[in-house]
Amino acid sequence: MADHLLIRAAFRQPVERTPVWMMRQAGRFLPEYRAVREKADFLTMCKTPELAAEVSLQPLEAVDVDAVIFFSDILTMLEPMGLELTFGEGEGPRFPDPIRTSADIDRLSVVDPADGLAFVGDALHLCRERIAGRVPLLGFTGAPYTLATYAVEGCTGKNFNHIKRWYYREPETLRRLLEKIADQVTVYLNYQIENGAQAVQLFDTWAGALSPEDYREIAAPYTRQVIDGLHRDGVPVILYINGGGHHLDTMATLGADVLSLDWRTDMAEAKRKYGATHCLQGNLDPCALYGTEARIRQEVQRVLDAAGKVGHIFNLGHGMLPDIPVENARCFVRAVKELGVHG
């Protein structure tokens, strides 16, 4: 394992400055990404190692971030299990045949990623080769509850009535689905680690819609199952929940090394409560990057002051927005690198 700022920060070791990267940094705000996207649809980009590696490294070259996160989607790992995945223009991901019955769960299989997701391993190898040790390579996927939500709802939702109906009427059926997905997530992340990922992040996008009690009951145990099953010697695990500030007490018990905070969470309070045991990641409001250079630097300084010098990875509190000017993203990264020096 190379001596990377982000890896040391994740394990709460002293660093000479705060490392910085951005969720969704390989995406539509970059003209280089849009140029590739004009030639291939989203799933083709994910499944073509050459294209995935190309767009993964674009933010390293364009914005000078301290980590590369390989280009993919949290849902691609559900396809080999037996769920058809589509991405319609302007409508996001869809599963045309969602999981709605116990028999539907039976038809799902836990598969070897080397068979159904070999393109991911190839993309990771290409990324490591091209990064050439400059920064660490991050892997990722969705946490079991979020993946189950997509699989059951069939698309992005707001009320999540199908999966919550299962929770309140057939909790054991839902648990069977979550356990099977957790098994697949575990082998998938281990596959990423075996093929070059130097840190991994679990995105539990929809867990923020759960009450604290429901999160503890139905989502957290399967996130814990995944983290416990990882071959993580020297590989930190990052856990992120959008809108998950009310889950931090539980998140802190699940074995992750890094708690990633959204922008609605008080960084200073989180540091006080969890900073002795966890690195914290975040948590600038992505909309702050619409600001002037002076305002961006002011907001960066505010987060740095709250987070302190040990155990902090600077990031946005959610993903990069597609219409942020590239120069503003550069200004953000530059501000962290200049203001986050630890003298």
For the question of residue 24 being annotated catalytic, the response is yes
In 3D, which of 271, 235, 284 has the Cα closest to residue 256? 235
Span 51-62, pLDDT tens digits: 999 999 999 999
Assigned fold of 5-339: TIM Barrel (3.20.20)
Catalytic residue among 28, 100, 175, 330: 28
For the question of residue 150 being annotated catalytic, the response is yes
Catalytic residue among 24, 264, 330, 334: 24
Which pTM was predicted?
Answer: 0.96
For the question of residue 216 being annotated catalytic, the response is no
Catalytic residue among 33, 145, 150, 167: 150
C-alpha R_g of the chain: 19
Distance CA 219, CA 307 (A): 28
Quote the pLDDT of residue 95. 84
**Within the chain, which residues score under 50 in pLDDT?**
1
247 by DSSP, 3-state: which?
Answer: helix
From the number of C-beta atoms within 10 Å of its C-beta (0-12, 13-18, 19+), residue 24 rates as middle
Quote the pLDDT of residue 96. 85
DSSP 200-269: EEEE-TTGGGS-HHHIIIIIHHHHHHHHHT---TT--EEEE-TT-GGGHHHHTTS--SEEEPPTTS-HHH
Contact at 8 Å (CB) between 248 and 273?
Answer: yes
For the question of residue 232 being annotated catalytic, the response is no
Quote the pLDDT of residue 159. 66
Domain limits of the chain?
5-339
Structure token digits, residue 105? 């769960």
From the number of C-beta atoms within 10 Å of its C-beta (0-12, 13-18, 19+), residue 87 rates as middle
Distance CA 113, CA 206 (A): 24
Catalytic residue among 73, 104, 122, 214: 73
Which residue carries 């946490």 as its tokens? 143
Quote the pLDDT of residue 89. 66
Quote the pLDDT of residue 156. 67
Looking at residue 75, its amino acid is: L
CA 112 to chain centre: 22
